[in-house]
Amino acid sequence: MSDLTQEQAQEALDFNVDEWLSDANLPEESAQIYKRADVISELTRLKGEIEIEREADLERSASEESPVKELRRKYEHLARVFGDSAMTVYVRALTPDEKELIRKENEEASEKGKWEKAKENRDFAARLLSKSIVGIKTPTDEERKPVFWSPATIIKMEDKLGTTQMNQVMYAYQTAQNAMPKVDADFLPSRSGSDPIQD
């Protein structure tokens, strides 16, 4: 590498990294979870019934009333119930110091309670998410709201919503923690100035 010129060396000295970092934030990701996933089974049943009745419509006489319209109304109602139960959970990456503190707290609690490995792992994951979840947004919210959930709340959510949904939140955390931040190029403004989202 060639030596810096005197001017380049002065520029390097003049660069204020603290000022540059003043508005920096750790990476964030989001995941969507639903409190009414129980309606999926009924939606699946209705979808199947609608398909059967559509086929039956081909053989019905003009005077016979088709039940498809009423089935579709029920389906649309339950689909709204499901959609309205959504919550977007925002998670951020954790600093090395935060992760080390969580690890120590988890080890101490495990030793004190004489936990088996499965309980220790569940507690560790709950502590990670408790610290990394920074906000939520529901369909009725205009803006994201800050939240501060305890590890016990995370475990309660897993018990009520299921492991798969909370794994989605954990995956979002892992992405924020480990993936290089990037924006999907398909959603960036094109060089012509047109917005691909509006195209």
Q: Count up the domains in the chain and report the number.
A: 1
Tokens found for residue 33: 């979870």
> Do residues 32 and 87 touch, judged by C-beta distance below 8 A?
yes
Give domain status of residue 142, yes or no: yes
Q: Is 65 among the domain residues? A: yes
Please state, in angstroms and rounded to a whole number, the distance separating the CA atoms of residues 68 and 87: 31
- 28-66: per-residue pLDDT in tens? 999 999 999 999 999 999 999 999 988 887 777 766 778
Answer whether residue 98 is part of any domain.
Answer: yes
pLDDT tens digit sequence for 13-32: 778 888 888 988 999 999 99
Q: Within its chain, how far is the Cα of 108 from the centroid? A: 30
Contact between residue 115 and residue 123 where contact means Cβ atoms under 8 Å apart: yes
HSE value, Cβ hemisphere, 13 Å, CA-based, for 32: 9
Alpha-helix runs per DSSP H in the chain: 6-14, 17-20, 40-57, 68-84, 96-113, 117-132, 151-161, 163-178
In a domain, 190, yes or no: no
Q: Name the residue with higher pLDDT: 63 or 124.
A: 124
Please check whether residue 140 is in contact with residue 118, taking contact to mean a CB–CB distance below 8 angstroms.
Answer: no
d(CA 115, CA 109): 8
Comparing CA positions, the residue from 68, 44, 73, 43 lying closest to residue 54 is 68
* In the predicted structure, residue 195 carries a pLDDT above the cut 70: no
Q: Give a yes or no: residue 187 inside a domain.
A: no
Give the domain range for residue 94: 28-178
Q: Residue 11 domain-assigned?
A: no
Q: What is the pLDDT of residues 132-171, one digit of tens each?
A: 999 999 999 999 999 999 999 999 999 999 999 999 999 9
- Listed in sequence order, the residues at least 6 apart from 191 whose beta carbon sits closer than 8 Å to its beta carbon are none
Is residue 135 one of the residues assigned to a domain? Answer: yes
Specify the amino acid at residue 91: V
What's the mean per-residue pLDDT of the chain?
Answer: 89
**How do residues 74-93 score in pLDDT, each as one tens digit?**
999 999 999 999 999 999 99
In this structure, is residue 189 part of a structural domain? no
